Amino acid sequence: MEGIPLLGEKMPEFEAQTTHGKIKFPDDFKGKWVVLFSHPADFTPVCTTEFVAFQKRKSEFDKLNVQLIGLSIDQVFSHIKWVEWINENLNVKIEFPIIADDTGRIAKLLGMIHPSKGTNTVRAVFIVDPEGILRVVLYYPQELGRNMDEILRIVKALQVSDANNVAMPANWPNNELIKDEVIVPPASDEKTANERLEKAKSGEIKCFDWWLCHKKV
């Protein structure tokens, strides 16, 4: 696990063979958000349900300027045959590339192999912004399939946060306290705290207290 990328760092560069040809990561995807996700193995039940679920939401990811990229330590011909099987038997055409990391080089580079969980890749998700900066890492055990709606929510929330310099509450956009509103960053000095309270009085923002303010975007 040594040397794996941390949040806020540039993603490591690598070249790889995929089902859509060779790619250079992250350079080929500059200007796009990327959801890079690993799966333990082709032709396995949970992974198959995940790929179908990702594909079913591809148009939603497209609207968010997101490139989906899969990865496992299978060879490219295995990926190709698995994608064909999904299309022929489940009537779902997988339209995003899958990296063939048959040497395990990339999986090791990104910390996708956890020895206590076996020799295959765990279900890792790396969310990368248009500048190639790692923003979110999620790890799931092999026996637990991912929630793709949560991954969509994460990307939406990051984009709103970046565009408005705000923080996102729990369960956004269905937060129990402020619903679909967002959190104004806490004041770091007395002057800003007092300004927050004045803005609250004028209705520009709403506050439970000076340190917990929210607004619509």
Distance of CA 183 to the CA centre of its chain: 21
Q: For 98-142, what is each residue's pLDDT tens digit?
A: 999 999 899 889 988 887 776 678 899 999 999 999 999 999 988
Least confident piece of the model among 21-35, 71-85, 146-160, 197-211: 197-211
Alpha helices in the chain (DSSP H): 45-56, 58-63, 76-90, 105-109, 148-164, 190-202
Q: Show which residues are catalytic.
A: 47
Beta-carbon count within 10 A of 103 CB: 10
Q: Considering only the top CATH level, what class is 14-146?
A: alpha beta
Distance CA 111, CA 39 (A): 13
Q: What is the dihedral of CA 50, 56, 62, 64, to 10 degrees?
A: -70
Angle at 37 between CA 34 and CA 41, to 5 degrees: 150
Is 4 buried (19+), middle (13-18) or exposed (0-12) by CB count in 10 A? middle
Domain-wise residue ranges, the chain: 14-146, 165-217
Contact between residue 94 and residue 51 where contact means Cβ atoms under 8 Å apart? yes
Distance of CA 118 to the CA centre of its chain: 23
Residue 156 predicted with pLDDT over 50: yes
Distance CA 172, CA 18 (A): 34
The residue type at 105: R
CATH of domain 165-217: 3.30.1020.10
Angle at 168 between CA 166 and CA 170, to 5 degrees: 160
- Does the predicted TM-score (pTM) go above 0.85? yes
Q: For 2-32, what is each residue's pLDDT tens digit?
A: 467 899 999 999 999 999 999 999 999 999 9
- Residue 118 confidence (pLDDT): 67
Residue 68 predicted with pLDDT over 60: yes
Mean of all residue pLDDT scores within the chain: 93
